A and B are shown apart, each in its own frame.
Chain A
Amino acid sequence: MERQLKRKSLASIMGIVVLVGAGGFIAVRHARADGAKSAEPAAASQVKIDNFTFTAQSITVRVGTEVTWVNRDDIPHTVVSQDGAFKSKALDTDDKFSFKFSQPGTYHYFCSIHPKMTAEVVVK
Chain B
Amino acid sequence: MNPTDRDEIVREHDHNHNRDGVDRRGFLKCMAWAGAGALCVMQGGVLTSYSLGETAKKKMNGELSFVQLSDSHMGFNKPANPDVTATLQVALDRIKALQTQPEFLIHTGDVTHLAKPEQFDTVAQMLKGTPGQDIFYVPGEHDMIDDNGKGYLDRFGKNTQGAGWYSFEKKGVHFIGLVNVMDLKAGGLGTLGPEQLEWMEKDVKHLSHSTPIVVFAHIPLWTVYEDWGWGTQDSGQALSYLKKFGSVTVLNGHIHQTMQKVEGNVTFHTACSTAFPQPQPGAAPGPGPMKVPAEQLRTLLGITDVNYVRGKHSLAVIDSNLA
Q: Which residues of A contact B (CB under 8 A)?
A: 51-53, 73-76, 78, 82, 89-90, 92-93, 108-110, 112-116, 118
Contact = CB atoms under 8 A, between A and B. Distances in A.
A115 B145 contact: no
28 contacts: A51-B285, A51-B286, A52-B228, A52-B286, A52-B288, A53-B285, A53-B286, A73-B286, A74-B79, A74-B80, A74-B288, A74-B289, A75-B288, A75-B289, A76-B114, A76-B142, A82-B186, A89-B146, A90-B115, A90-B145, A90-B146, A110-B187, A113-B142, A113-B184, A115-B185, A115-B189, A116-B229, A118-B186
Given A51-B285, A76-B114, A113-B142, A118 B187 contact: yes
B107 interface: no
Contacts of B114: 76, 90, 92
B281 interface: no
Nearest to A93: B78
A82 B184 CA distance: 11
Contacts of B185: 115
Contacts of A82: 186
Nearest to B79: A74
A109 B186 CA distance: 7
Contacts of A89: 146
B141 interface: yes
Contacts, number: 58
B227 interface: yes
B187 A115 contact: yes
Contacts of A110: 186-187
A48 to B, nearest CB: 13
Contacts of B162: none
A73, A78, A82, A115, most chain B CB atoms within 10 A: A115
Contacts of A90: 114-115, 145-146
B288 A108 contact: no
Given A74-B78, A108-B186, A115 B285 contact: no
A113 B76 CA distance: 16
Given A52-B228, A76-B114, A76-B142, A115 B188 contact: yes
A51 B145 contact: no
Contacts of A52: 228, 286-288
B310 interface: no
Interface of B: 76, 78-80, 113-115, 141-142, 145-146, 184-189, 227-229, 285-289
Nearest to A92: B114
Contact of A116 (B76, B80, B227): B227
B288 A116 contact: no
Nearest to B228: A116
A75 B276 CA distance: 11
A82 B186 CA distance: 7
Contacts of B227: 116
Interface centre among A78, A89, A113, A118 (most CB of B within 10 A): A113
A88 to B, nearest CB: 10
A72 to B, nearest CB: 10
The 4 closest A-B pairs by CB, nearest first: A51-B286, A110-B186, A52-B286, A116-B229
A108 B186 CA distance: 9
Given A90-B145, A113-B142, A116-B228, A73 B188 contact: no
Contacts of B76: 74
A113 B115 CA distance: 12
Contacts of A115: 184-189, 229
Nearest to A82: B186
A91 B30 CA distance: 35
B264 to A, nearest CB: 28
Contact of B184 (A53, A76, A92, A112): A112
Contacts of B285: 51, 53
A23 B78 CA distance: 46
A75 B233 CA distance: 23
